[in-house]
Structure formats: structure tokens, C-alpha cells
Amino acid sequence: MLCSMTKMEQRKALNVAALAARRAGKLIRDNLGTAKVVNETTSHDIKLELDVRCQELIARLCHREFPEIALLGEEGDCGDNDSEYRWVVDPIDGTVNYAYGIPHACVSIALQQRSTPAPDSYATVLGVVYDPFQNELWSASQHDGPKLNGRPISVSNRKKLSEAMVAIGFGKTAKIMKASLGLFYPLSQQCRKVRNMGSASLALVYVACGRFDGYLETGISLWDIAAGGFILERAGGVFWREQIGPDHKYRMVATNASLQGKLKKLFLK
């Protein structure tokens, strides 16, 4: 097992994650207008061959610099499951948008450290989210403050729901969709606007830099939220989440600090 990373090692890991995100992002951007090879479709999701290629690219770059660190990704796992650290990767967050030619998708990479001897108890220590279509890279670590393209960011200071822009996700199963639709009506009545834009990672970093004031989701995967949620917390926001299933599934409320109580109360009704 690794010992805890030094500040210098963690900064190196952050730079590696940023490089991997940019390389995968270029592949995504270059292929936006091309015909997509679909590996799998369900009622509400699409898996592309490009998802796999992007994750393999990220895995190679990260493994080259940190061969002892495992990887947990939307497109599969690799490495030693007993490693103290693991990369958590969503190679294309917003795949359905991307498959339809909508340029709202991103690469999400987090690094997590095992926090207890329990099998699945980890704490995120750094995160990178890269939007290749806007060339925007959000990053943060335990030792480096939250940034967007190298400039410091912070959450909004809006305190009234009536002034808030809030994102919501509707999930992929009938049960989760029903719960989310039940939440949509009170949110739409109390907030200025509610948005569903199709990329959880981007919704989280939009909250982190003050574009959104909150984001709620009833069923979301760890690789969608690990990096963005960490960046949000480092930017002064609150990232409440609760595991709801064995396959890294969560429900979550992410906000600027001022609106956390009000939005969480609506969410848990």
C-alpha cells in the first residue's frame, strides 16, 4: 500500500489528472461531428465505443505516473483493489448529449484515498473536471484551492430560493424518475429557474463557480460526482450525499452554503 501522499506528490497527481482530462477531452471534441459507434443502449442511456477509448487513454496516462494506484471507472475497473488510492473516472459525463451532437459533456477525474479499513470507504483528495467544448478546466486538491482555468472560484452568495438557479437530474429508472418529477414541481414554483442539462459533473462545478446555486439528484453514480463534489466543497459549497445502493449509487444535494438547508428540506420531504 502507498503511504499518504506528500504535498508535492499530490500536486503531481493533480497535474497528471489535468493532462489526462485534456487529452481525453481533445479526443471527445475531435469526434463530436463523427458517426458514433454504440456499444449499448437502454431506454434512457447510451454507451459509446468512445467512452471506452477515453477511459483507456486516461488509465494509461495515470498508470504511467502512478502504477500502484487502482482505477474505478464507468467503463470498468483496473489495478489493485487493495491500493490505498484509486482514481475515479467518468470519461464522458453527458454521453447522451454527446451522442446527439450536443456539446455539453465533460471528463471527470477524482483521486480518492481509503479512509477506513472498510471495503468502500474513501475520501476524495483531488478532482478535475474538463469541458472540452468551452475549454474550461476546474480543479482542486487538499493543498490547492478550487480554480477554473487557473483562476480562483467560489460559490454564489444568493440566499433566496426565488433568486436561485437550480439543476436537477431525473435518473434512469422508473422509481428514480418518479421521485425526481415529484421534486421538480415544488422546485419550479420556488426557484427562479430549474435546469436539467445532462451532465452531473458540469452541474456540480457550475455550482462551485456560482453559475448555479444548487443541484439535486436522486440516483447518481460515484464517478459522476466524486470530482465535482470535491471541487464544490473546496469552493465553499456543501455537498451532502447518501449511498443508496451497492453499485456506487448515491442521492445528493449540492449547494452554496446559504441554500443548503432549504433545498435539502425540499429534497427529503
Determine the average pLDDT of the residues in 175-202. Answer: 90
User: Which is more confident, 209 or 78?
Assistant: 209
SS3 for 85? strand
Per-domain boundaries in the chain: 7-152, 161-267
pLDDT greater than 80 at residue 107:
yes
Question: How confident is the model over 166-187, as pLDDT tens digits?
Answer: 999 887 777 777 877 888 999 9
Q: State the pLDDT at residue 1.
A: 39
251's torsion region: left (phi>0), alpha (psi -120 to 50) or beta?
beta
> Going by CATH, does the domain composed of 161-267 fall within 3.40.50.300?
no
Q: State the pLDDT at residue 120.
A: 60
**Claim: this prediction has a pTM higher than 0.85:** yes
User: Which is more confident, 226 or 4?
Assistant: 226
Question: Side-chain half-sphere of 251: how many Cα atoms within 13 Å?
Answer: 13
Q: State the pLDDT at residue 79.
A: 79
Mean pLDDT of all residues belonging to the chain: 91
Q: State the pLDDT at residue 2.
A: 46
CA distance linking residue 196 with residue 213, whole number of Å? 14
Considering the segment(s) 7-152 as one domain, its CATH architecture is 2-Layer Sandwich (3.30)
Would you give the DSSP letter of residue 192? S
pLDDT greater than 70 at residue 48:
yes
CA distance linking residue 91 with residue 265, whole number of Å? 33
